[in-house]
Amino acid sequence: MIGLGEVAQVIHLPIIESLPDRYELAAVCDISPGLLKSVGDRYRVERRFTDAAEMIAAGGLDCVFVLNSDEYHAECTIAALDAGIDVLVEKPMCLSPREAQEIIAARDRSGRTVMVAYMRRFAPAFTEAVARLPELGEIRYARVRDIIGENRLIVDQTSYVERPDDIPQAAAEEKWARRSALVKEALGDVPEELEWTYGLLCGLGSHDLSAMRELIGRPQRVSAAKMWRRGGYLVALLDYGDFVVTYETGVDEQLRFDAHIEVFGESGSMKVQYDTPYVRHLPTTLEIERTVGDSYERSVIRPHLKDPYTHELEYFHDVVTSGGTPKTSPEDYVEDMELFIEIIRALERA
């Protein structure tokens, strides 16, 4: 595991521990020596590294989870692939189109697996929505919404997370310089506010737009977009030809998590409602509304209590051990990145 921050501590480490028939935590890596010792001691892992390249070169690994800061995802993923190791990489897979193509090339020459960690697409309520979408008939309209409170507000009430204070200042400065260079590589020379908006899309937005694409396909174009509060809020109109999708996202200080995809057909609608992933096993539900004859029917389906992250890690194990191809592939992520850039271009036109 590369990166032992919030998502690793709250999600990935406990899930790996709960799946001993599928995973053994063999080595951990983090830039923080204090965090490395604390997590290593807690999970009884002897092999500890502050440098990902050294961990990969040391060998003895079947797969690597790349959970560190976005700016280093491509570098770590490519190094693992070239060492013959399968990779689960957290979203966003990378920040620039060049990095994406380099990851694809490394996967192809190594013959190993790369899967992007889009856990929302593995929630049973979502996969059931995909299967049942034809029941709606012709799509008339869809809405994608993700207005949430800061993750820390929820995490601090429900989990213990160690946040290190021993990261070298030079490393932090290098990270932000690398991020700026990669975003400029993707977008060109844009105002800082658009760089922040691109960051919102790569982070929170990648969940929404990726799931949207699997459910109803990719839009033909971005008709319009508007952002405010330094890129912290965004609304976009996505044109599908014979219907339109509204996409709205933003982060505030409320202790709630409102993320859903709602699709409206001629005489029915379907909504996948997500809850915060930082409290494990909160269910994702599928709400279906239909008009049948003279009656109006509404049902709420909870297919399973198991959290989407656990389904995701079980799926990754199955794909790697069976030699399959993950649905959340690098090419799949490239479609998201292209859509992020299209939204930024629409914002430039606004």
**CATH, residue 250:** 3.30.360.10
pLDDT of residue 280: 86
CB-based contact 140:264 (threshold 8 Å): yes
Residue 67 to residues 50, 76, 135, 159, 261, Cα–Cα distance (Å): 14, 10, 38, 18, 26
Domain check: are 109 and 130 in the same one?
Answer: no
Domain check: are 152 and 172 in the same one?
Answer: yes
CB-based contact 2:68 (threshold 8 Å): yes
d(CA 175, CA 328): 26
Domain check: are 82 and 191 in the same one?
Answer: no
Residue 319 lies in a domain: no
Residue 264 lies in a domain: yes
Q: How many CB atoms lie within 10 A of CB 52?
A: 21
Say how many domains are in the chain.
2
d(CA 185, CA 106): 20
CA angle 111, 115, 117 (to 5 degrees): 165
Residue 240: alpha-carbon gap to chain centroid: 23
* Residue stretches of the chain with pLDDT short of 70: none
Residue 320 lies in a domain: no
CB-based contact 246:237 (threshold 8 Å): yes
Residue 217 lies in a domain: yes
pLDDT tens, residue by residue, 116-126: 999 999 999 99
Residue 73 lies in a domain: yes
Domain that holds residue 86: 6-117
Residue 209 lies in a domain: yes
Domain check: are 151 and 111 in the same one?
Answer: no
pLDDT of residue 281: 87
Among 64, 86, 117, the domain boundary falls at: 117
Domain check: are 48 and 191 in the same one?
Answer: no
CB-based contact 36:48 (threshold 8 Å): yes
pTM: 0.95
Angle between helices 206-216 and 124-132 (to 10 degrees): 30
d(CA 262, CA 246): 10
Domain check: are 102 and 151 in the same one?
Answer: no
Among 117, 138, 173, the domain boundary falls at: 117
CB-based contact 144:247 (threshold 8 Å): yes
Among 117, 140, 157, the domain boundary falls at: 117
Residue 314 lies in a domain: no
DSSP letter string over 211-277?
HHHHHH---SEEEEEEEETTTTEEEEEEE-SSSEEEEEEEEES-S-EEEEEEEEESSEEEEEEE--T
DSSP letter string over 8-28?
IIIIIHHHHHH-TTT----EE
pLDDT of residue 223: 97
Domain check: are 68 and 124 in the same one?
Answer: no
Domain check: are 77 and 216 in the same one?
Answer: no
Residue 143 to residues 195, 202, 213, 269, Cα–Cα distance (Å): 25, 19, 12, 11
> What three-state secondary structure class fits 145?
strand
CA angle 117, 121, 122 (to 5 degrees): 85
Residue 323 lies in a domain: no
CATH of the domain at 40: 3.40.50.720
Domain check: are 82 and 125 in the same one?
Answer: no
Domain check: are 243 and 296 in the same one?
Answer: yes
Domain check: are 79 and 211 in the same one?
Answer: no
Run of H or E residues at 89: strand 86-90
CB-based contact 111:197 (threshold 8 Å): no
Domain check: are 25 and 173 in the same one?
Answer: no
d(CA 290, CA 298): 7
